[in-house]
Structure 1
Amino acid sequence: MASGEWFAQLYQESYRSLVLTAYALLRDIGEAEEITQEAFAVAYGRRARVAKADSPEAWVRTVVVNLARRRWRRRAMLDRILRQEGDEEPAPFGEHLDLHAAIRALGHEYQAAVVLHYLADLPVDEVASILDIPVGTVKSRLSRARTALAQRLHTEEMDHA
Structure 2
Amino acid sequence: MDTLIHKRIKQVLKGDQNAYSDIVNSYQQSLYHVCYRIVGNQQEAEDIAQEAFVRAYINLHTFDPKRKFSTWLFRIATNLCIDRLRKKKPDYYLDAEVPGTEGLDMYSQIASEERLPDEEVERMELKERIHYEIGRLPEKYRTVVILKYIEELPLQEISDILEIPLGTVKTRVHRGREALRKQLGDV
**For the superposition of Structure 1 and Structure 2, which TM-score range results when normalised by the shorter chain?**
0.7 to 0.9
1:69 aligns with 2:82: yes
- Candidates 110, 124, 127, aligned match of 2:155: 124
Q: How many residues align?
A: 141
Deviating beyond 6 angstroms after TM superposition, the runs of 4 or more aligned structure 1 residues are none
How far the C-alpha of 1:140 sits from its partner, in A, is: 1.4
Q: Partner residue of 1:103?
A: 134
Structure 2 letter corresponding to 1:28: N
Counting aligned pairs with the same residue, the percent is 30
Tell me, yes or no, if the aligned pair for 1:53 and 1:59 is still in contact at 8 Å. no
C-alpha distance in structure 1 between counterparts of 2:47 and 2:62, whole Å: 22
1:112 aligns with 2:125: no
How far the C-alpha of 1:51 sits from its partner, in A, is: 6.7
Structure 2 letter corresponding to 1:29: Q
Q: Partner residue of 1:10?
A: 23
How far the C-alpha of 1:50 sits from its partner, in A, is: 2.9
How far the C-alpha of 1:75 sits from its partner, in A, is: 1.5
Q: Partner residue of 2:53?
A: 40
Structure 1 letter corresponding to 2:40: R
Q: Partner residue of 1:89?
A: none
- Candidates 54, 61, 64, aligned match of 2:67: 54
| TM-score, with structure 1 as normaliser | 0.77
1:145 aligns with 2:176: yes
Structure whose CA Rg is larger: 2
Structure 2 letter corresponding to 1:104: G
How far the C-alpha of 1:97 sits from its partner, in A, is: 2.4
| TM-score, with structure 2 as normaliser | 0.68
Tell me, yes or no, if the aligned pair for 2:71 and 2:160 is still in contact at 8 Å. no
Greater fraction of residues in helix: 1
Q: Partner residue of 2:41?
A: 28
C-alpha distance in structure 2 between counterparts of 1:58 and 1:6, whole Å: 19
Tell me, yes or no, if the aligned pair for 1:25 and 1:111 is still in contact at 8 Å. yes
1:134 aligns with 2:147: no
Show structure 2 runs of 5+ residues with no match: 1-6, 92-123
Show structure 1 runs of 5+ residues with no match: 81-93
